[in-house]
Amino acid sequence: MFLLLAISGNAAAELPVANQRLDPSRCSVPAYASPDRKPVKVYSAPGKSADALGYLPVSKDEDGNRKGAYVTIVSMQRDWALVADTAAWDNSEQGPHGWVEARYLRFALQTSHGFASPNPESTIMVTTDWLMPSQIRKLEDCYREWVFVTVKSGGKARKAWFRGACANQETTCDGVTGDAISAVLAAEEIEHK
């Protein structure tokens, strides 16, 4: 889904829209909890007034650096993410499944295009190099493998739908590609045939 804005006459432009209820099955996006803060609290429902279920585990690598828990984002509601498959970075312990504040989740985006809707056929809103976690300002929504985020690109804050999330805290994710990158690879493959 997308919002249409009339520009003049019959011309229209797509604008990205967050928090649309696109599908009840929602999303499956890999992420990790920010290791730069105290452990992230998990709640039974979105909101700090809900029952606390515990914390996402924090562990340390062999050099003593803090590492946040890995999670799968399965739904969003406003500024809250429902997470499942929670585990410490070193798999030493599992964490509770539940709702966390989305601002504490991190991932990189291994893609070069952001779209007006979660569809690679929609209007390209952002063209960029891969986006590192520090460039992703706000996680707004998700749908299947897509995330709707505010990113800093070209010195401006922009909102768009992306896919190609990478939750590896140390390097890139092999085999994870978003849009445009996979199109380039396909074109190179055709040239070699």
- Let me know: does 72 contact 31? Beta carbons within 8 Å: yes
Tell me the β-bridge partners of 87: 70, 94
Q: In whole angstroms, how far apart are CA 18 and each of 43, 62, 174?
A: 23, 39, 29
Q: Residue written as tokens 């460039």?
A: 135
From first to last of the 193 residues of the chain, give the pLDDT tens digit. Answer: 333 222 233 333 343 444 444 454 589 999 999 988 788 999 999 999 999 999 999 998 899 999 999 999 999 999 999 999 999 999 999 999 999 999 999 999 998 899 999 999 999 998 888 888 988 999 999 999 999 999 987 788 999 999 999 999 888 887 777 775 444 444 444 444 4
- Let me know: does 150 contact 157? Beta carbons within 8 Å: yes
Which pLDDT score, from 0 to 100, does residue 25 have?
57
Q: Which of 61, 68, 160 is nearest to 109 (CA)?
A: 160
- Other C-beta atoms closer than 10 Å to the C-beta of 180 total 16
Which pLDDT score, from 0 to 100, does residue 145 have?
93
Long-range CB contacts (within 8 A, 24+) of 122-129: 122/2, 122/14, 122/161, 123/13, 123/14, 125/16, 125/158, 125/159, 125/160, 125/161, 126/151, 126/153, 126/158, 126/160, 126/162, 127/180, 128/153, 128/154
Token pair recorded at residue 84: 């499942």
Which pLDDT score, from 0 to 100, does residue 177 have?
72
Q: pTM of the entire structure?
A: 0.78
